[in-house]
Amino acid sequence: MGRYYIVLIFLLGVRNMLPAQQHVDTNYIRSYERKNMLEVYTGIYNTEFSFTHRHDRRKNFRLKVNSSSYLGADISYKWLYLQYSFNVPGTQLDNRNKFNYKLIRFQFGNRRLSFQPFYNYYNGLLIPTTHRRDFEPFQGIAISNAGFDLYYTNSRRFSSSAASIFSEKQVSPAGAVFFSFTPVWQQIHWKKPSPQLVPDTMTFKLLSSNPEWISVLPGIGYSYNFVPHRGWIIAPAILLKLGVLNEIHPDNDGLQLLNDEQFWLNTGYSNERFYIYLNLAFERESSNLLLKDMTRVDMSASITAGMRFYSLKKKILRIL
């Protein structure tokens, strides 16, 4: 299975694209002199889709992404950000099958506002069997979604940059409420439906109908930066979303509920020259579709190490 990120992201003048950055309380937040960063990272992830019956668990059906460990590196220089990562060979759940998972994400913003368009594509999945770590390949099925995440926070004492990417100093502990807004289009496409793969009638009917839906999810969250010792930070966050979806179908003009819960934790050490941190993340999204409920669960863990450096005195190609 391949995991791909977009490897070229232009952050063209993001400080000028949005309203001016708010003034911060320097007793809580301070900047690093070295503004550019070079990182290496490694991690693992797991994604599972569950199609559940509200009254009979025997009719539930699960699909798993053929996840694996990964390695990657990125560089942030002025307005340019480059990133590349790849799967570690032999670490897939099922090494016999090579499926694709693609992720494309951009990020623009300033201290208050962050705009993050994204696209996810899962091509080929695994059906768990009764035997542990044994799977049956589910060929020809693709699950995709596209949309954007919009985040807003307004705090002079809390640094989301210190909490998420260690690009600022959180000198004293502080927390902040933040808000999110996420419109998403999602689709399941099964090229050649086979009832032998999906014994449950309702799940087969749902997947073989190639459903697609649009949803809108507003949310509210809270994050806090603990500073137990100089240079160290522990930054947990929680985000709760509740919204509505509409299945794109000629006979349907109603709305159904969906909800999303996210929790993540970053903890590590940072100084003027280098930093290292651990990230743990969990997300559970539940969609009440017409035929069955669909739940997606994402879990991941990663370690990132980076170094900071000054900009060159002369511009690269007259633009950097």
Dist CA 302 CA 10 (whole Å): 24
- pLDDT for residue 298 is more than 90: yes
Number of H helices, E strands in the chain: 3, 18
- pLDDT for residue 13 is more than 60: no
- pLDDT for residue 307 is more than 60: yes
**Phi and psi torsions of 97, nearest 5°:** -120, 135
Judge whether 320 lies within some domain.
no
Judge whether 314 lies within some domain.
no
- Report the chain's mean pLDDT, rounded to a whole number: 89
The whole-number average pLDDT for the span 39-54 is: 93
Q: What is the pLDDT of residue 3?
A: 40
Judge whether 70 lies within some domain.
yes
Specify the range with the lowest mean pLDDT, choosing from 8-12, 115-119, 299-303: 8-12
Residue 141 DSSP label: E
Q: What is the CATH number of the domain that holds 93?
A: 2.40.128
- pLDDT for residue 272 is more than 90: yes
- pLDDT for residue 9 is more than 70: no
How many other CB atoms are there within 10 angstroms of residue 3's CB atom? Answer: 19
Dist CA 286 CA 209 (whole Å): 19
Q: What is the pLDDT of residue 97?
A: 81
- Are 139 and 125 a contacting pair, CB within 8 Å? no
Taking only the tens place, the pLDDT of each residue in 137-169 is 998 999 999 999 999 998 999 999 999 999 999
Checking DSSP bridges between strand 69-77 and strand 232-247, what pairing results, if any?
Answer: unpaired
Q: How many domains does the chain have?
A: 1
Query: pLDDT category, 22, cuts 50, 70, 90?
Result: low
Judge whether 44 lies within some domain.
yes
Phi-psi region of 130 (alpha: psi -120 to 50; beta: other; left: phi over 0): alpha
Q: What is the pLDDT of residue 14?
A: 39
DSSP bridge pairs for 38 = 75, 307
- According to the per-residue pLDDT averaged within each range, which of 48-62, 117-131, 264-278 is highest? 264-278
Taking only the tens place, the pLDDT of each residue in 199-236 is 889 999 999 999 999 999 999 999 999 999 999 999 99
- pLDDT for residue 308 is more than 80: yes
Checking DSSP bridges between strand 113-128 and strand 100-105, what pairing results, if any?
Answer: antiparallel
The whole-number average pLDDT for the span 92-119 is: 86
The whole-number average pLDDT for the span 69-79 is: 92
Q: What is the pLDDT of residue 264?
A: 98
Two tokens, residue 202: 């309702």
Judge whether 10 lies within some domain.
yes
- pLDDT for residue 21 is more than 60: no
Q: What is the pLDDT of residue 109?
A: 84
Dist CA 157 CA 168 (whole Å): 12
Checking DSSP bridges between strand 2-4 and strand 100-105, what pairing results, if any?
Answer: parallel
- pLDDT for residue 20 is more than 80: no
pTM for this predicted structure: 0.89
Specify the range with the lowest mean pLDDT, choosing from 29-43, 88-102, 111-125, 306-320: 88-102
Judge whether 24 lies within some domain.
yes
Q: What is the pLDDT of residue 211?
A: 95
- pLDDT for residue 273 is more than 60: yes
Q: What is the pLDDT of residue 15?
A: 34
Judge whether 163 lies within some domain.
yes
**Domain that residue 230 falls in:** 2-309
Two tokens, residue 293: 């409920």
- pLDDT for residue 265 is more than 70: yes
- pLDDT for residue 78 is more than 70: yes
Query: pLDDT category, 4, cuts 50, 70, 90?
Result: very low
How many other CB atoms are there within 10 angstroms of residue 213's CB atom? Answer: 22
Question: How large is the C-alpha radius of gyration of the chain?
Answer: 21
Q: What is the per-residue DSSP string for 272-314?
A: SSEEEEEEEEEEEEEEE-SSSEEEEEEEEEEEEEEEEEPPPSS
The whole-number average pLDDT for the span 45-50 is: 94
DSSP H or E stretch at residue 208: helix 201-208
Judge whether 191 lies within some domain.
yes
